[in-house]
Amino acid sequence: MAHHDQRAAVRQALTDLDPVAAGVRVETFNVIQGATVPVTILWHPISGRTDVSAFHADVGRLTVGLSRHTHGCVVVSREGIGERLAATPSTDDQEGDAPDRRLDGLLAHRVVWERLSA
């Protein structure tokens, strides 16, 4: 629900800033999946998090967020993402031979963050 609240807050802030901006499309990763737009402004999924859960680290969500644009993508975040990613243990409580999707996402986030920070 927090993602929908964030979307509503961004939509309201844009409308308050300029009524013309009310026409800007503001969506969650799940809604925008499969669509393309000229420019995206991406709120980094780990920004503001105190943990790196499997949901927020999911590599598919990161891919959707970074690949919906045709001309440009702006990544917005709070401070500390690099440190949070570095401090997050690479292992998760996995049973048997289940794939560790959180680890896959964590590694992808680390690579992307290193590239963005360069």
Task: Tell me the helix, strand and coil percentages in the chain, rounded to 5.
Answer: 50, 15, 35
Alpha-helix residue ranges (DSSP H) falling in the chain: 2-17, 29-32, 54-57, 59-66, 81-87, 101-117
pLDDT for res 97: 65
pLDDT in tens, 41-53: 888 888 888 888 8
pLDDT for res 93: 57
Domain of 81, in residue numbers: 2-89+100-117
The domain tally of the chain equals: 1
Pairing of strands 37-43, 69-76: parallel
pLDDT for res 67: 93
**3-state secondary structure (DSSP) of residue 49:** coil
> pLDDT of the chain along its 118 residues, tens only?
577 788 888 888 888 988 887 778 888 887 888 899 888 888 888 888 888 888 888 888 889 889 999 999 988 888 888 898 888 877 655 566 666 777 888 889 999 999 988 8
Kindly state whether residue 94 falls inside one of the protein's structural domains: no
Query: How far is residue 35's CA from residue 83's CA, in Å, rounded to a whole number?
Result: 32
Kindly state whether residue 95 falls inside one of the protein's structural domains: no
